[in-house]
Amino acid sequence: MRWLLPLALLAAGAARAQDPGERDFQRCISCHSVADPLEEGLPGPGLRGVFGRRAASQQGFAYSEPLRRSGLVWDRTTLDRFLADPEALVPGTLMGLPPLRDAALRQRIIDYLARQG
Ligand code: HEC
């Protein structure tokens, strides 16, 4: 039975590599990090632990006035609306991401973010 553990590890590794949310998140990594500690010097705030967090609350990041005043808390609904059209939910936001029209894609990214801390 000694082969069981390596096999389980292999399966876990494969599952991680195939995480569709992680793959979809690649379109965000030019601006955002989910690393721990956060990667510095990116144009967007860190998204580790963003789930359940008040909008514009990462210490030290220079958010736009509209996002700081938005009063939003990031959950499934608000994240979905933001990714579907950042400018529509928060007019004047600095996040220059074109609307993500694919609802399934948004869900995969949101699920992925929910798993990051
Ligand atoms: C071109 C750079 C860029 C890309 C690409 C980008 N973002 Fe952003 N994002 C930003 C900036 C800048 C802000 C801060 C907006 C503000 O202050 O108005 C932001 C803010 C956010 C916030 C709010 C964070 C907080 O602390 O309140 C979330 C959530 C977010 N982005 C998710 C995403 C996701 C998911 C993707 C990929 C689908 C993505 N972003 C792609 C630049 C980007």
Please choose from 29, 31, 115 the residue to mutate so as to test ligand 1's pocket, defined by most ligand atoms within 8 A of CB: 31
- Looking from the CA of residue 27, the nearest atom of ligand 1 is 37
Cβ(112) – ligand 1 distance below 6 Å: no
The model's pTM? 0.89
Question: How far is ligand 1, taken at its centre, from the CA of residue 91, in Å?
Answer: 14
End-to-end CA distance of the chain: 34
SS (H, E, C) 43-112: CCCCCCCCCCCECCCCCCCCCCHHHHCCCCECCHHHHHHHHHCHHHHCCCCCCCCCCCCCHHHHHHHHHH
Q: Is 110 exposed, middle or buried (0-12, 13-18, 19+ CB in 10 A)?
A: buried
| Residue 68 neighbours by CB under 8 Å, 6+ apart | 55, 56
- Looking from the CA of residue 68, the nearest atom of ligand 1 is 17
Question: How far is ligand 1, taken at its centre, from the CA of residue 13, in Å?
Answer: 28
Q: Domains of the chain, with CATH numbers?
A: 20-114 (1.10.760.10)
Question: How far is ligand 1, taken at its centre, from the CA of residue 6, in Å?
Answer: 38
Task: Print pLDDT tens along the chain (117 aa).
Answer: 566 666 665 666 555 556 899 999 999 999 999 999 999 899 999 999 999 999 999 999 999 999 999 999 999 999 999 999 999 999 999 999 999 999 999 999 999 999 998
